[in-house]
Amino acid sequence: MPIISSTYTVGHAQASGLHYVVETHTWDTGEVSKLEYGPLPSKTDFKSIADTRARQIEADRTKAEAEKAEKEAADAKLATVIDAAVKAGTLTKEDIEKAGLDVDLATVEKAK
Amino acid sequence: MADIRVRSTDGSDADNGTTWALAKATLAGAAAIDAAGDTIVVSSVHAESTAAAVSLAWAGTAAAPTRILSVDDSADPPTALLPGASITTTGANGITLASASTQYAYWNGFTFNCGTGASAASITIQGKQILSGCAFLLVTTAAASVISLSTGQYELRNCTFKFGATGQGFSVAASGKPQLIVGGQIASGGSNVTTLFNTFALGAKALLYGFDLSALAASVDMAATTSSGAALEMRNCILPPSWTGSVNSANPGRGSVFEMYSCWSGSTEIIWRRKIEFGAGRDETTLVRTGGGKHRGVGVSLKCDTTADAEYPLNTFETLQFAAQVTAAQVGSPVTATVEILHDSVTALTDADIWLTVSGPGGEINSDQVADVFATPAAQASSSATWTTTGMANPNAQKLTVTWTPSKAGVVLGTVSIAAASKTVYVDNMMTVAP
């Protein structure tokens, strides 16, 4: 899921003479990530900053998606174990509440 | 409550730690025998190293916490703190300080070196602790290694941190009370992490006061998380010079707030930054109101940009809180709180687009928000205030006003909420209360 375009707009000078910059990164899905940074001197290489940031936020998103998938897999595994334990009668709704497990108790009721 | 002495140079875990001559050799040796309220005095020359995970669990309780101190061992009993004691793990072995979130401990003057090579190894801090003047060094170059601010409530005071790879950073767990870092710094000579807090769990919170991260690269982001319920607040921190990063480079999740107050990047002050799910805000020093709010003598407004998802009544962006005063002479008679705003459109903003909410000293809550979701929004009042409007095609000055009768004198707090989608509004950094 790459970023297909990155642009930047340099704002007006602040009282300090420095400028804020708004970066706009468009993903291949059409989603837009926008952020503003600064203030910095007008002669700063804003294009280089935008290009570097695009690669970084792509890497951040890839990492976040991998972590989310890992967590979902772990949660699914836990749900299977809990489901089996409830059906076997070795785990009750009270046990789950006491352990503070993040489980849908209505699902537990159905499993019984 | 006893002192247990530890010194790696000549100690033995078979000894009882009652004198320097009978010092324990390791912190684990002391942790095996400590009782609630004990003080573990560790020689400043103590340097233990192990190719195994270190997990130190203390007997300290709320009534009798454990103290673990790096000391000058020239006296017995010791009478002076002296930083220098160190705990090192090698390989893929981490360090855990307090193995449960209920342990009470105070540390002073230790260095924790974690992992070697490319093996993943993290430093985990848990429990109810204060760690003062300590150094946390991720020696491992594994990107997955973190300094984990895990469950518990603790403060890291004047501590030093160093990372071994650009992908490392702090990881914050949800724990009720925010994790607090006061003073201290990122040491130079380590790897420049790309994101300071590379993981924020759902509901995790961190506060940084007076923390120096100027040794990091200018591009460092404070966070890159979409977690819900997360919060990062930074005050009086030192950022890298010519900072180009973001308080959160991702889109914050539901209820998350990432903000900075009075932080410095070189000689440039970052007066205010905020980023939430429905918008972002920063300080502005050119588009300001004549005679309006100032900071260090310079006019300031709050530039607020909402996202496309902003919408009345739920999806709003809030400014920082304004403070004003109700005097004793004003009690019992109507007063009006006013905040001036500016935007670039001929179409006036309504009371469903933007409003002021005021909390009076007598507990009164009043707002100029539209009455309810079925009411017809009305334009907020036009204002005759003078603003610098550089670059604006249709500058439109309006004002938010709330009138109420205060029952007590004291501080009045006000917040501006913006629900208009994809809108930029400049909010004067001042609330007045008159007459």
The low-confidence residues of chain A, meaning pLDDT below 50, are: none
Residue B21 contacts by C-beta under 8 Å, 6 or more apart in sequence?
Answer: none
Token look-up 């941190």 returns B161
A21: nearest CA partner in chain B: B244
Report the pLDDT value the prediction gives residue A105, as an integer from 0 to 100. 60
* Nearest by Cα to B396 from B381, B376, B418, B417: B381
Report the pLDDT value the prediction gives residue B15, as an integer from 0 to 100. 97
Q: Is B240 on the interface with A (CB under 8 A)?
A: no
pTM of the model: 0.92
CB-based contact B192:B169 (threshold 8 Å): no
Residue B413: Cβ within 10 Å count: 16
Interface test with B, best of A35, A40, A43, A62 (most B CBs within 10 A): A35
Report the pLDDT value the prediction gives residue A102, as an integer from 0 to 100. 58
Does B286 sit within 8 Å of A12, measured CB to CB? Answer: yes
Conformational region of residue B147, where left means phi above 0, alpha means psi within -120 to 50, and beta covers everything else: beta
Does A15 sit within 8 Å of B298, measured CB to CB? Answer: yes
Q: Cα separation of B295 and B301, whole Å?
A: 10
Q: Express as a percent the part of chain B with pLDDT over 70.
A: 99
Residue A92: Cβ within 10 Å count: 13
Q: Cα separation of A7 and B209, whole Å?
A: 34
Interface test with A, best of B249, B256, B260, B295 (most A CBs within 10 A): B249
CB-based contact B121:B142 (threshold 8 Å): yes
R_g over Cα of chain B: 26
Strand arrangement of the beta sheet that strand B47-50 belongs to? B47-50, B86-89, B111-114, B135-138, B160-162, B185-186
SS3 B332: coil
> Which tokens sit at B28?
């684990």
Buried b (16+ CB within 10 A) or exposed e, B359-387: bbbeebebbbbbeeeeeeeeebeebebeb
Does A16 sit within 8 Å of B268, measured CB to CB? Answer: yes
User: Which run of H or of E encompasses B367?
Assistant: strand B365-367
Report the pLDDT value the prediction gives residue B102, as an integer from 0 to 100. 73
How big is the A-B interface in CB pairs under 8 Å? Answer: 55
C-alpha distances out from residue B387 to A17, B291, B384, Å: 19, 9, 9
CB-based contact B105:B65 (threshold 8 Å): yes
CB-based contact B330:B409 (threshold 8 Å): yes
User: Which run of H or of E encompasses A77?
Assistant: helix A46-88
CB-based contact B272:B260 (threshold 8 Å): yes
Cβ-nearest to B244 among A18, A40, A67: A40
Does A35 sit within 8 Å of B286, measured CB to CB? Answer: no
C-alpha of B51 from chain center: 34
Does A16 sit within 8 Å of B280, measured CB to CB? Answer: no
Report the pLDDT value the prediction gives residue B222, as an integer from 0 to 100. 97
Q: Is B277 on the interface with A (CB under 8 A)?
A: no
ipTM score assigned to the predicted complex: 0.90
Q: Cα separation of B396 and B408, whole Å?
A: 35
The low-confidence residues of chain B, meaning pLDDT below 50, are: none
CB-based contact B126:B100 (threshold 8 Å): yes
Q: How confident is the model over B258-302, as pLDDT tens digits?
A: 999 999 999 999 999 999 999 999 999 999 999 999 999 999 999
Does B280 sit within 8 Å of A60, measured CB to CB? Answer: no
Return phi, psi of residue B54, to 5°.
-110, 125
Cβ-nearest to A14 among B199, B251, B286: B286
Contacts of B243 in chain A (CB under 8 A): 37
Residue B225 DSSP class: -
Contacts of B391 in chain A (CB under 8 A): 12
Among A residues 10-69, those touching chain B with beta carbons less than 8 Å apart: 12-16, 18, 20, 33, 35-40, 44, 49, 52-53, 56-57, 60-61, 64, 67
Does A35 sit within 8 Å of B249, measured CB to CB? Answer: yes
Does A18 sit within 8 Å of B224, measured CB to CB? Answer: no
> Which tokens sit at B45?
């020359």
Q: Cα separation of B220 and B232, whole Å?
A: 15
